[in-house]
Amino acid sequence: MQYTVTINQVKAQEWGLNSQQALLFAFVYECPSWANPIKTDTGIYFALSKAKIVEELPLLTDKPDTAYRLLKALRDAGLIELSSTSSITLIRLTEKAKEWNRKLDGSEKYPTSNALNGRKKIRSTSEKSPSKVGKKSEAGSEKSPTNQGTNNQGTNNQGTNNQGTNQVTSNQDLQDAPGKPVESLGLVLVVDRSEAPRVEIPADMPGPKDQACKTFKAWANYAMAYRKRYNTWPVWNAKAGGQLGQLVDRLGADVAHHVAAHYLKNSDVGVVRKCHSLNELLVNAESYHTQWVTNRQMNSTTAQQIERKQANHAAGMEAAQRIMQRAGGQPNEFL
Protein backbone atom coordinates (compact mmCIF):
# COMPACT_ATOMS: atom_id res chain seq x y z
CA MET A 1 0.00 0.00 0.00
CA GLN A 2 1.26 3.48 -0.84
CA TYR A 3 1.73 5.53 2.31
CA THR A 4 0.73 8.96 1.05
CA VAL A 5 -0.92 10.33 -2.08
CA THR A 6 -0.66 14.08 -2.66
CA ILE A 7 -3.59 15.64 -4.51
CA ASN A 8 -3.47 18.98 -6.27
CA GLN A 9 -6.99 20.15 -5.42
CA VAL A 10 -6.72 23.23 -7.64
CA LYS A 11 -6.07 21.17 -10.75
CA ALA A 12 -8.58 18.51 -9.71
CA GLN A 13 -11.31 21.13 -9.55
CA GLU A 14 -10.15 22.77 -12.77
CA TRP A 15 -10.32 19.46 -14.63
CA GLY A 16 -13.63 18.45 -13.06
CA LEU A 17 -12.30 15.40 -11.23
CA ASN A 18 -14.22 13.91 -8.35
CA SER A 19 -12.40 12.68 -5.24
CA GLN A 20 -11.96 9.12 -6.54
CA GLN A 21 -10.62 10.28 -9.89
CA ALA A 22 -8.26 12.79 -8.25
CA LEU A 23 -6.92 10.13 -5.85
CA LEU A 24 -6.28 7.71 -8.70
CA PHE A 25 -4.66 10.34 -10.91
CA ALA A 26 -2.31 11.42 -8.10
CA PHE A 27 -1.15 7.80 -8.00
CA VAL A 28 -1.01 7.38 -11.78
CA TYR A 29 0.99 10.62 -12.14
CA GLU A 30 3.92 8.99 -10.32
CA CYS A 31 3.86 5.76 -12.37
CA PRO A 32 6.58 6.79 -14.86
CA SER A 33 9.02 6.99 -11.94
CA TRP A 34 8.58 3.34 -10.90
CA ALA A 35 6.41 1.34 -13.32
CA ASN A 36 7.86 -0.98 -15.95
CA PRO A 37 8.17 0.84 -19.32
CA ILE A 38 6.74 -1.02 -22.30
CA LYS A 39 7.67 -0.07 -25.87
CA THR A 40 4.75 -0.18 -28.33
CA ASP A 41 4.23 0.84 -31.94
CA THR A 42 2.91 4.20 -30.73
CA GLY A 43 5.61 4.91 -28.16
CA ILE A 44 6.50 4.14 -24.53
CA TYR A 45 3.73 3.20 -22.09
CA PHE A 46 3.94 2.07 -18.47
CA ALA A 47 2.55 -1.16 -17.08
CA LEU A 48 -0.16 -0.63 -14.46
CA SER A 49 -2.47 -3.51 -13.68
CA LYS A 50 -5.89 -3.10 -12.13
CA ALA A 51 -4.77 -5.41 -9.34
CA LYS A 52 -1.86 -3.08 -8.62
CA ILE A 53 -4.24 -0.14 -8.21
CA VAL A 54 -6.41 -2.12 -5.81
CA GLU A 55 -3.35 -3.20 -3.83
CA GLU A 56 -1.83 0.28 -3.54
CA LEU A 57 -5.04 2.29 -3.09
CA PRO A 58 -7.31 0.33 -0.75
CA LEU A 59 -9.23 3.51 0.09
CA LEU A 60 -10.12 3.92 -3.57
CA THR A 61 -11.71 0.56 -4.35
CA ASP A 62 -11.35 -3.16 -3.83
CA LYS A 63 -12.74 -4.03 -7.27
CA PRO A 64 -10.45 -4.22 -10.33
CA ASP A 65 -13.34 -3.36 -12.64
CA THR A 66 -13.98 -0.15 -10.73
CA ALA A 67 -10.30 0.73 -10.97
CA TYR A 68 -10.41 0.28 -14.75
CA ARG A 69 -13.58 2.34 -15.02
CA LEU A 70 -11.84 5.17 -13.18
CA LEU A 71 -8.84 4.86 -15.53
CA LYS A 72 -11.17 5.30 -18.48
CA ALA A 73 -12.64 8.39 -16.79
CA LEU A 74 -9.14 9.86 -16.61
CA ARG A 75 -8.65 9.01 -20.27
CA ASP A 76 -11.92 10.76 -21.15
CA ALA A 77 -10.72 13.79 -19.19
CA GLY A 78 -7.69 13.96 -21.48
CA LEU A 79 -5.16 13.12 -18.74
CA ILE A 80 -3.92 9.68 -19.77
CA GLU A 81 -3.74 7.45 -22.82
CA LEU A 82 -4.69 3.80 -22.40
CA SER A 83 -3.39 0.73 -24.19
CA SER A 84 -2.91 -2.90 -23.26
CA THR A 85 -1.14 -6.15 -23.95
CA SER A 86 -2.64 -9.61 -23.60
CA SER A 87 -2.09 -9.49 -19.87
CA ILE A 88 -1.58 -5.92 -18.64
CA THR A 89 -3.04 -2.44 -18.85
CA LEU A 90 -0.72 0.24 -20.20
CA ILE A 91 -0.90 3.98 -19.47
CA ARG A 92 0.99 7.16 -20.27
CA LEU A 93 0.44 10.79 -19.32
CA THR A 94 -0.74 13.42 -21.77
CA GLU A 95 0.75 16.90 -22.02
CA LYS A 96 -2.25 18.24 -20.16
CA ALA A 97 -1.57 15.84 -17.28
CA LYS A 98 1.93 17.20 -16.80
CA GLU A 99 0.44 20.48 -15.55
CA TRP A 100 -0.52 18.66 -12.33
CA ASN A 101 2.83 19.46 -10.76
CA ARG A 102 3.44 22.98 -12.10
CA LYS A 103 2.93 26.39 -10.62
CA LEU A 104 1.24 29.18 -12.47
CA ASP A 105 4.62 30.37 -13.80
CA GLY A 106 5.18 26.96 -15.40
CA SER A 107 7.96 25.81 -13.07
CA GLU A 108 7.95 22.39 -11.43
CA LYS A 109 6.72 22.64 -7.88
CA TYR A 110 4.04 21.27 -5.59
CA PRO A 111 1.08 22.17 -6.33
CA THR A 112 0.41 25.96 -6.46
CA SER A 113 2.17 28.94 -4.94
CA ASN A 114 -0.54 29.78 -2.41
CA ALA A 115 -0.93 26.20 -1.29
CA LEU A 116 2.82 25.76 -1.05
CA ASN A 117 3.29 28.93 1.01
CA GLY A 118 0.56 27.79 3.36
CA ARG A 119 2.19 24.43 3.75
CA LYS A 120 5.58 26.02 4.40
CA LYS A 121 4.07 27.98 7.26
CA ILE A 122 2.57 24.84 8.76
CA ARG A 123 5.86 22.99 8.38
CA SER A 124 7.75 25.86 10.02
CA THR A 125 5.32 25.89 12.94
CA SER A 126 5.55 22.14 13.36
CA GLU A 127 9.34 22.24 13.45
CA LYS A 128 9.48 25.04 16.01
CA SER A 129 6.66 23.70 18.19
CA PRO A 130 6.35 19.96 17.61
CA SER A 131 4.15 19.60 20.67
CA LYS A 132 1.39 21.50 18.89
CA VAL A 133 1.14 19.02 16.04
CA GLY A 134 2.20 15.74 17.59
CA LYS A 135 5.30 13.96 18.79
CA LYS A 136 8.43 13.67 16.72
CA SER A 137 9.17 10.30 15.18
CA GLU A 138 11.28 8.00 17.30
CA ALA A 139 14.78 7.05 16.24
CA GLY A 140 14.65 4.28 13.66
CA SER A 141 11.30 5.30 12.28
CA GLU A 142 10.99 6.26 8.64
CA LYS A 143 12.50 9.65 7.96
CA SER A 144 10.13 10.62 5.15
CA PRO A 145 7.15 8.24 5.06
CA THR A 146 5.33 10.45 2.57
CA ASN A 147 5.72 9.61 -1.10
CA GLN A 148 7.66 6.49 -0.21
CA GLY A 149 6.21 4.66 -3.13
CA THR A 150 4.60 1.29 -3.46
CA ASN A 151 5.14 -2.11 -1.94
CA ASN A 152 6.46 -3.54 -5.18
CA GLN A 153 8.31 -0.88 -7.10
CA GLY A 154 9.54 -3.35 -9.66
CA THR A 155 5.97 -4.21 -10.78
CA ASN A 156 6.89 -7.90 -10.70
CA ASN A 157 3.27 -8.85 -10.22
CA GLN A 158 1.99 -7.00 -13.23
CA GLY A 159 2.25 -9.83 -15.71
CA THR A 160 5.14 -8.42 -17.71
CA ASN A 161 8.69 -9.62 -18.05
CA ASN A 162 11.32 -8.53 -15.56
CA GLN A 163 13.66 -6.76 -17.94
CA GLY A 164 12.69 -3.34 -16.59
CA THR A 165 12.32 -4.12 -12.92
CA ASN A 166 15.85 -3.00 -12.05
CA GLN A 167 15.39 0.56 -13.17
CA VAL A 168 12.70 1.61 -10.78
CA THR A 169 14.28 1.32 -7.36
CA SER A 170 16.53 3.54 -5.37
CA ASN A 171 19.53 3.45 -3.11
CA GLN A 172 18.36 3.30 0.51
CA ASP A 173 21.73 4.59 1.68
CA LEU A 174 21.12 8.05 0.20
CA GLN A 175 20.70 10.56 3.01
CA ASP A 176 20.48 14.28 3.26
CA ALA A 177 23.57 16.28 4.18
CA PRO A 178 23.92 16.60 7.97
CA GLY A 179 22.15 19.57 9.48
CA LYS A 180 20.55 20.64 6.20
CA PRO A 181 16.75 20.43 6.18
CA VAL A 182 15.49 19.54 2.72
CA GLU A 183 12.50 21.07 1.04
CA SER A 184 11.16 18.36 -1.24
CA LEU A 185 9.88 18.93 -4.73
CA GLY A 186 7.86 15.73 -4.55
CA LEU A 187 9.89 14.34 -7.46
CA VAL A 188 11.05 10.75 -7.23
CA LEU A 189 14.66 9.72 -7.73
CA VAL A 190 15.63 6.46 -9.36
CA VAL A 191 19.11 5.54 -8.21
CA ASP A 192 20.19 1.93 -8.12
CA ARG A 193 19.08 -1.65 -8.45
CA SER A 194 18.65 -2.61 -4.79
CA GLU A 195 15.17 -3.00 -3.30
CA ALA A 196 14.54 0.16 -1.26
CA PRO A 197 12.20 3.12 -0.86
CA ARG A 198 12.29 5.85 -3.44
CA VAL A 199 14.07 9.10 -2.55
CA GLU A 200 12.64 12.58 -2.86
CA ILE A 201 14.73 15.14 -4.70
CA PRO A 202 15.68 18.25 -2.69
CA ALA A 203 14.52 21.58 -4.04
CA ASP A 204 18.05 22.97 -4.09
CA MET A 205 19.37 20.38 -6.54
CA PRO A 206 20.70 22.23 -9.61
CA GLY A 207 19.87 21.18 -13.14
CA PRO A 208 16.62 20.12 -14.83
CA LYS A 209 13.50 19.68 -12.70
CA ASP A 210 11.14 18.46 -15.42
CA GLN A 211 10.88 14.67 -15.22
CA ALA A 212 10.10 14.59 -18.94
CA CYS A 213 13.50 16.11 -19.73
CA LYS A 214 15.86 13.73 -21.56
CA THR A 215 18.66 14.19 -19.03
CA PHE A 216 16.56 14.39 -15.85
CA LYS A 217 17.00 10.81 -14.61
CA ALA A 218 20.68 10.57 -15.46
CA TRP A 219 21.47 13.94 -13.87
CA ALA A 220 19.34 13.35 -10.77
CA ASN A 221 21.02 10.02 -10.09
CA TYR A 222 24.50 11.41 -10.72
CA ALA A 223 23.84 14.55 -8.65
CA MET A 224 22.33 12.75 -5.66
CA ALA A 225 25.07 10.10 -5.61
CA TYR A 226 27.66 12.88 -6.00
CA ARG A 227 26.25 14.83 -3.04
CA LYS A 228 26.17 11.65 -0.96
CA ARG A 229 29.87 11.09 -1.61
CA TYR A 230 31.19 14.67 -1.56
CA ASN A 231 28.52 16.40 0.54
CA THR A 232 27.98 19.03 -2.14
CA TRP A 233 26.18 19.29 -5.46
CA PRO A 234 28.08 18.88 -8.73
CA VAL A 235 28.20 21.89 -11.06
CA TRP A 236 25.38 22.12 -13.59
CA ASN A 237 25.99 24.08 -16.76
CA ALA A 238 25.50 23.79 -20.51
CA LYS A 239 28.51 21.48 -20.83
CA ALA A 240 27.17 19.13 -18.15
CA GLY A 241 23.79 19.04 -19.88
CA GLY A 242 25.43 18.20 -23.19
CA GLN A 243 27.52 15.44 -21.63
CA LEU A 244 24.49 13.89 -19.94
CA GLY A 245 22.64 14.01 -23.25
CA GLN A 246 25.51 12.15 -24.95
CA LEU A 247 25.55 9.60 -22.12
CA VAL A 248 21.85 8.88 -22.63
CA ASP A 249 22.38 8.57 -26.40
CA ARG A 250 25.26 6.12 -25.97
CA LEU A 251 23.86 3.89 -23.22
CA GLY A 252 20.12 4.35 -23.66
CA ALA A 253 17.55 6.11 -21.49
CA ASP A 254 16.70 2.88 -19.66
CA VAL A 255 20.17 2.36 -18.16
CA ALA A 256 22.10 5.66 -18.30
CA HIS A 257 20.83 6.74 -14.87
CA HIS A 258 21.86 3.41 -13.31
CA VAL A 259 25.37 3.72 -14.71
CA ALA A 260 25.62 7.34 -13.53
CA ALA A 261 24.81 6.30 -9.95
CA HIS A 262 27.09 3.25 -10.03
CA TYR A 263 29.94 5.40 -11.33
CA LEU A 264 30.05 7.33 -8.03
CA LYS A 265 30.88 4.06 -6.22
CA ASN A 266 34.14 3.72 -8.15
CA SER A 267 37.18 4.29 -5.94
CA ASP A 268 39.91 4.21 -8.57
CA VAL A 269 42.55 6.78 -7.65
CA GLY A 270 42.36 8.47 -11.07
CA VAL A 271 38.59 8.83 -10.83
CA VAL A 272 38.68 10.07 -7.24
CA ARG A 273 41.44 12.56 -8.09
CA LYS A 274 39.07 14.10 -10.64
CA CYS A 275 36.16 14.00 -8.15
CA HIS A 276 34.15 11.67 -10.41
CA SER A 277 33.91 14.21 -13.20
CA LEU A 278 31.37 13.84 -15.98
CA ASN A 279 34.26 13.94 -18.45
CA GLU A 280 35.57 10.63 -17.11
CA LEU A 281 32.09 9.08 -17.04
CA LEU A 282 31.45 10.03 -20.66
CA VAL A 283 34.88 9.03 -22.01
CA ASN A 284 34.57 5.51 -20.56
CA ALA A 285 30.77 5.19 -20.57
CA GLU A 286 30.72 1.66 -21.99
CA SER A 287 33.28 0.48 -19.46
CA TYR A 288 31.23 1.82 -16.56
CA HIS A 289 28.14 0.22 -18.11
CA THR A 290 29.89 -3.16 -17.95
CA GLN A 291 30.89 -2.51 -14.34
CA TRP A 292 27.26 -1.72 -13.50
CA VAL A 293 25.93 -4.83 -15.26
CA THR A 294 28.48 -7.06 -13.51
CA ASN A 295 28.18 -5.12 -10.23
CA ARG A 296 31.94 -4.60 -10.09
CA GLN A 297 34.28 -1.69 -9.63
CA MET A 298 37.34 -1.62 -11.86
CA ASN A 299 40.34 0.19 -10.43
CA SER A 300 44.11 -0.10 -10.79
CA THR A 301 44.38 -2.77 -8.09
CA THR A 302 41.64 -4.90 -9.63
CA ALA A 303 43.14 -4.48 -13.09
CA GLN A 304 46.58 -5.57 -11.81
CA GLN A 305 45.06 -8.62 -10.14
CA ILE A 306 43.33 -9.61 -13.39
CA GLU A 307 46.52 -8.99 -15.34
CA ARG A 308 48.56 -11.20 -12.96
CA LYS A 309 45.93 -13.92 -13.11
CA GLN A 310 45.93 -13.90 -16.89
CA ALA A 311 49.76 -13.87 -16.98
CA ASN A 312 49.91 -16.87 -14.63
CA HIS A 313 47.32 -18.67 -16.72
CA ALA A 314 49.28 -17.98 -19.93
CA ALA A 315 52.53 -19.15 -18.33
CA GLY A 316 50.86 -22.34 -17.15
CA MET A 317 49.44 -23.05 -20.59
CA GLU A 318 52.85 -22.44 -22.18
CA ALA A 319 54.55 -24.81 -19.73
CA ALA A 320 51.94 -27.47 -20.34
CA GLN A 321 52.42 -27.13 -24.07
CA ARG A 322 56.20 -27.56 -23.76
CA ILE A 323 55.72 -30.68 -21.64
CA MET A 324 53.36 -32.15 -24.21
CA GLN A 325 55.79 -31.36 -27.01
CA ARG A 326 58.66 -33.03 -25.15
CA ALA A 327 56.56 -36.07 -24.39
CA GLY A 328 55.58 -36.34 -28.03
CA GLY A 329 59.20 -35.93 -29.21
CA GLN A 330 60.92 -38.46 -26.86
CA PRO A 331 60.47 -41.57 -29.01
CA ASN A 332 62.20 -39.88 -31.96
CA GLU A 333 65.20 -38.98 -29.82
CA PHE A 334 66.14 -42.66 -29.44
CA LEU A 335 65.91 -43.56 -33.15
Q: What confidence score (pLDDT) does residue 322 get? A: 75
Per-residue b/e over 216-231, b at no fewer than 16 CB within 10 Å?
A: bbbbbbbbbbbbbeee
How far is 142 from 172, CA to CA, in rounded Å?
Answer: 11
Q: What confidence score (pLDDT) does residue 312 get? A: 76
Q: Are strands 80-84 and 37-40 parallel, antiparallel or unpaired?
A: unpaired
Each residue's pLDDT expressed in tens, for the chain with a length of 335 residues: 777 888 989 989 999 999 999 999 999 998 888 888 988 888 899 999 888 898 889 899 988 889 989 999 999 999 999 998 877 899 999 999 988 876 555 555 444 334 444 444 444 444 444 444 444 444 444 444 444 444 444 444 444 444 333 333 334 344 334 444 444 444 544 444 433 335 677 889 999 888 888 999 999 999 999 999 999 999 999 999 999 999 999 999 999 999 999 999 988 888 889 999 999 999 999 989 998 888 876 555 665 665 677 767 777 787 777 777 777 655 444 44
How far is 23 from 155, CA to CA, in rounded Å?
Answer: 20
- CB-based contact 263:193 (threshold 8 Å): no
How far is 31 from 67, CA to CA, in rounded Å?
Answer: 15
Report helix, strand or coil for 300. Answer: helix
How far is 25 from 22, CA to CA, in rounded Å?
Answer: 5
Q: How many CA atoms lie within 13 A of 6 on its CB side?
A: 20
- CB-based contact 38:47 (threshold 8 Å): yes
Q: What confidence score (pLDDT) does residue 45 get? A: 92
- Long-range Cβ pairs for the range 303-308 (8 Å, 24+): none
0.85 surpassed by pTM: no
How far is 298 from 178, CA to CA, in rounded Å?
Answer: 30
Give the residue from 109, 133, 103 showing the smallest Cα distance to 183.
Answer: 109
Residue 66 CA, chain-centre distance (Å), reads: 30
Q: What confidence score (pLDDT) does residue 280 get? A: 92
Structural domains present in the chain: 1-134+143-155 (1.10.10.10), 169-298 (no CATH)
Non-local (6+) Cβ contacts of 129 within 8 A are: none
Q: What confidence score (pLDDT) does residue 140 get? A: 47
β-pair partners for 45: 38
Q: Is 205 left (phi over 0), alpha (psi -120 to 50) or beta?
A: beta
CA torsion sign for 301, 307, 310, 314 is negative
Amino acid identity of 229?
Answer: R
